[in-house]
């Protein structure tokens, strides 16, 4: 691979900025590499040299514009803490503007496994891990079952949101968020019903 120290930082910035601007102005699918290059005052080749696809550029642009993930607040009240973050997440997905970008990027990931991994690890994992960490702290505090599969509880929270957003099967509102948190926590706190199931491997075990 090319030594990255030769890379022109000014161009890199211009491209990411242009991508972000076009993303909000014209939407992902109507945005073209050619337009990004023109807007950034850059040759197309310079984009192709450093990124594999439109999706990769947008991903970089988004990650680049994101604040570093801080830990979730831990008030000691797991229910309240989760409600806050899930409400925020639901609101984000409900916002047509933010939603459009996510939607667009999701499309790209469906067709490009490499990109999907990047999106997952650089954009989403941090958010999921925040919640997981908060749940772990709650478990240590005895607020949720010892054998609760934390990863799946996290998915219990985010999965339905994605589902509803993706398939538009219902509104994304605050009461919805609250019910969701309650359901997930009930599943995580109460003793399980039904036959015992094999313990799921913890994806985060080191």
Complex with DNA: residue 112 or 151, whichever CB lies closer: 112
Closest CB 5 distance from DNA, rounded Å = 5
**Contacts of its own copies in 175-194 (CB under 8 A):** 175-176, 178-194
Complex with its own copies: residue 11 or 53, whichever CB lies closer: 53
Which of DNA, its own copies, none sits in contact with 8, Cβ below 5 to 8 A by type?
A: DNA
Residue among 10, 13, 52, 120 that touches its own copies (CB under 8 A) = 120
Hey, what's the torsion of the CAs at 109, 114, 115, 120, to 10 degrees?
A: 80
Residue among 76, 124, 140, 141 that touches its own copies (CB under 8 A) = 124
CB atoms within 10 A of CB 2: 8
Quote the CA–CA distance of 157 and 90 in Å, as a whole number.
Answer: 10
**Contacts of its own copies in 64-103 (CB under 8 A):** 79, 103
Nearest partner of 179 among 192, 191, 170, 167, judged by Cα: 170
CB atoms within 10 A of CB 138: 24
Burial 54-76 (b: 16+ CB within 10 A, else e): bbbbbbbbbeeeeeeeeebeeee
Nearest partner of 70 among 4, 126, 2, 146, judged by Cα: 126
Residue among 24, 29, 32, 179 that touches DNA (CB under 7 A) = 32
Residue among 46, 99, 106, 127 that touches DNA (CB under 7 A) = 46
Closest CB 133 distance from its own copies, rounded Å = 16
> Count residues contacting its own copies (CB under 8 A)?
61
């Amino acid at each position: 691979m090319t030594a990255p120290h030769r890379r022109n930082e000014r161009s890199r910035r211009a491209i990411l900025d242009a991508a972000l601007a076009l993303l909000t102005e014209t939407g992902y699918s109507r945005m073209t590499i050619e337009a990004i290059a023109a807007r950034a005052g850059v040759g197309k080749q310079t984009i192709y040299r450093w990124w594999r696809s439109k999706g990769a550029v947008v991903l970089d642009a988004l990650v680049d514009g994101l604040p570093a993930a801080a830990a979730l607040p831990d008030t000691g009240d797991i229910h309240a803490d989760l409600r806050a973050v899930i409400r925020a997440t639901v609101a984000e997905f409900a916002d047509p503007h933010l939603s459009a970008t996510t939607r667009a990027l999701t499309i790209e990931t469906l067709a490009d496994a490499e990109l999907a991994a990047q999106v997952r690890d650089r954009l989403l994992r941090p958010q999921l891990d925040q919640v997981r960490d908060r749940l772990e702290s709650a478990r240590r505090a005895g607020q949720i079952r010892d054998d609760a599969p934390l990863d799946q509880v996290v998915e219990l929270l985010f999965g339905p949101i994605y589902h509803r957003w993706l398939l538009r099967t219902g509104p994304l509102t605050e009461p919805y968020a609250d019910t969701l948190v309650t359901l997930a926590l009930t599943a995580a706190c109460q003793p399980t019903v039904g036959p015992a199931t094999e313990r799921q491997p913890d994806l985060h075990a080191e």
